[in-house]
Structure 1
């Protein structure tokens, strides 16, 4: 049985504050101080864990948020700024329609312009856009059981069979990964599943053990695998 992508985890200097920001921006529910879930219960949630390590580089992954109309894009940006986000420059040009922001902990995210066909019908988080190889896109497709919805010029994307957010990898060049990622995937298995067997399957696909009980995908990105509570 393939694992479920339960949450995108954030290492944060102030987990509760970052949960407050993302709950307010997305209109999702805080189920506790550090966990945010979509109100319809579908897809993945967000979970924030404390880290004293300062953010020292651009993240390997960021959210692309969708907009139904130009006004909705402006409203999303205004709400983000009111909640504590700020504008940042990562090399985008004035001709590009998306707006690049950073959350209160410095994590980059984009508010995408209306009419983006690739992100149509995906939800408020249209994509988790990752820096990564074609091979890691193939790995995650098999690991989660999500089909490839894009595979061209070494760029890949996957999406749950039920729809929702896409996960994308931009292909080469891939930036070096000198330290632990701020964002990571949290996978869960049913309470009665064989965690050892699933770890072996993921290892056969290209994962490897990492520090402190985490696993690493073929590009060296951390993820966790745990059984769900009974």
Structure 2
């Protein structure tokens, strides 16, 4: 039995995740052979798909994704063992945050610049920034590489289900969601929002910050906007398909 037929039960999810890796590399939001995306495939959320250890985002195919069990430390042994920091961060998230079916962690440039500021808040200065109004948590306690204890510490910060972005101080960003489409869309727009804010700061001019009530109204309107995340990912897959990409193999 080849790998494709073995993995058919979660093939659509694998294809979505592979497309997200490819497009993240295309946007230069990747970290070469580091950083990880994961997607839960059992009801408890503890068994999940993830990129193999040290494979570049731009090469990842649906059939390359490994299955990791967050409750089985033996996962760290053997030829298909995940990166230990991926096990630490994503294992912690999938064990301890039930609503985090998908988790995407990157060190994308503008989100990481934001995470490097003493004040890492993202003020509502445009529509994209409003998307995240009162919907992120800031980790102020970076403790080194994301081995198991660091992963559990980060997971414990996701206490409010409304907050699905973690600005990881001195580190990067961690996005959670229900699906690949939802999570990728959120990651994409968070990076756009962070870029707008950082570039606005670079002008040295005063910022035009929206009132809280308008920021919240806009965030709610965007949350209820129909199928934007699904259409976004579908278009990216269509573009990859048109190029003859092998991501879905």
TM-score by structure 2 length? 0.31
Structure 1 or 2: larger strand share? Answer: 1
Q: Rg larger in 1 or in 2? A: 2
